[in-house]
Every structure is written in C-alpha cells, then in structure tokens.
Amino acid sequence: MANISLRLSENVPGDFFVDSTCIDCDACRQIAPNIFAEHGDASVVFRQPETNEQTKRALMALVACPTGSIGTIEHHDAHVGIDAFPELIADNVYYCGFNAESSFGAWSYLIQRPDDEGGNVLIDSPRFATQLVRKIDAMGGVRKMFLTHKDDVADHNRFAAKFNCERIMHADDGAERLGMETIVRGEDAIQIDRDLIAIPVPGHTRGHMVLSYRNKFLFSGDHLAWSPNRNSLIAFRSACWYSWTEQTRSMLRLLDYDFEWVVPGHGRIHHDSAANMKTALRDCIEWMKTR
C-alpha cells in the first residue's frame, strides 16, 4: 500500500499518487499512459483521471504495481482494477497483471486454450494473488508454465503446486535447481506442442528462451521488445546480464520465425504485419552490432 507521507513531489495534486518506493518498472505507464509518466527514475501522476475509464485504468495500474507504490486519497472500489485482470490482448492471449516485485515488475501472460489443444499456458509468473488465481482457475487453470529466464520466475512454485502444471525452463538458468519438470538444454528449438515452439536465445541470461505461439505471438521475455522512442524493436544493452555478443547472435536466429506480436516481460507490446516485424528485427540486429 502506498504511503501518502512518501508521495513524490512531482505528482500533480489530486487523488492518485506514486510514492518513493517506485522501482520504475514502467507497468503503470503502459497500463494508463494518460495518467502516469516517467520522471527521473520513477513514475509519477502527471494528470488525474477525469473519466470512469481513466479511473479504471489507474486502478488497474495500482493493482499491477509490483511494489504497491500507487495510492489514492479517496476511497475506490478496488475490484474495478482487480476484476479487469487477466486483460485480453488479442485472440486468446491475456496479460495477467499482478506484477511481482521479485521479477522487477515483469509482465506475465496467459494463453487460454481448450484441453484438446494442450490446455492453458502461463508465460512467466505473476504474483500468486488470490483474486488472480481464482480467475485463472475459472478460465481453465494452467497446464504448462513457460519460464523465459531466471529473472522472472516469481511465484512459479506456488502456481505449480496449485495447478499441478508442467514447468518448462532452460538448464543454463538453473532449471534443475528450481525443480522444473521439463528442462531444455542446448540451443536447438523445441516443439512443445503443435502451436508452441521454445527457442533458446542466450544473451540477457545464459539460458534465456522465447516462446513462439502459432507463428503469430512471440513471448520474448527480456530478449526483445518494442521501443516507442526509437519506433523500432530493441534489446536492452544496459540490462544484458550474460553477453551482448551472444544476444546479438541469438537474435539472428529469430529471423527464421514469423511473428506479428512481440509480447515482452519488460518493454512495450507491439503488433504489426509479419513482414514489417521481420524488417524491424533486421534493423534491431544492425543497431545491436553498433552498441
């Protein structure tokens, strides 16, 4: 819960505010860009909500905030924000909300599929929040949990215990130590089922992987995201914990795959034609070579 005594002075006067515990994960700015903005190493409220929809988006940001750094002075029905998650992105792909501080606020996602298509898939772990768990259970639970890398595992063990799901992770990011049911080794892509391909892409971490779904959605973890500032796909040079050279090299492997959506753990979601995405990926690779 945000503390009014820690309210950042850069917030505009009014109901919603961000306090000094903010870790600048960017979640609130993505969820409610008309309300929250970046200021230095934190987010702040730059405009108070004026409509019911804006208030709902601000409450969703409050719920998703991994550090509880967003607060209000007035009383609001928290369920307005809580019940908005999981939030549909496109087709049968949802953003879970309830970002975890242990994953530095990384986003996690749910693919909802009938059992005859392999069942639901959770990509990276959100907080194990009772309200979210109930919603996911009502949507069919979790059959598989794909963990892109060791930074974003959060409450994976609690979700695994609740849903008895198969967890998939790469050996080079400590999958065996973490008790994963399925451990990927080496750099060969793995066909998990008809619609899912696990693609090892070392760089951000030694064992980072991305997940291709139906050659349409690329769940990219911390490997690849969209930059609205550069208007292009981007990798995070300052947050490369293993090897930028390896990340650049493994990015080339993604040219073998088609996708229309980049759905990252950190950074912005983006949708375009497969052809435009491939062009943007090539541009990203050339940019990476100069860093």
For residues 263-277, give the mean pLDDT: 98
Residue 113's identity, in one-letter code, is R
pLDDT tier, 170 (very low <50, low <70, confident <90, very high otherwise): very high
pTM: 0.96
pLDDT at site 1: 81
d(Cα 115, Cα 113) in Å, to the nearest integer?
A: 6
Give the tens place of pLDDT for each residue, 79-125: 999 999 999 999 999 999 999 999 999 999 999 999 999 999 999 99
Dig out the tokens for 141 from the structure.
Answer: 């639970």
Q: Please, which pLDDT band fits residue 271 given cuts at 50, 70 and 90?
A: very high
Does the pLDDT at position 143 exceed 90? yes
Tokens of 148: 């892109």
Q: What is the mean pLDDT of the chain?
A: 97
pLDDT tens profile 183-200 = 999 999 999 999 999 999
Domains and CATH numbers, the chain: 4-74 (3.30.70.20), 83-289 (3.60.15.10)
> What percent of the chain has a predicted confidence (pLDDT) above 90?
99
With 90 as the cut, is the pLDDT of residue 20 above it? yes
Residue 59 has pLDDT above 90, yes or no: yes
Residue 70 contacts residue 23 (beta carbons within 8 Å)? no
The pLDDT value recorded for residue 113 is 98
Burial of residue 18 (CB within 10 Å: 0-12, 13-18, 19+) is: buried
pLDDT at position 27: 97
Q: What are phi and psi of 45, to 5 degrees?
A: -85, 120
Q: What is the mean pLDDT of residues 53-62?
A: 98
d(CA 215, CA 237) in angstroms, rounded, equals 27
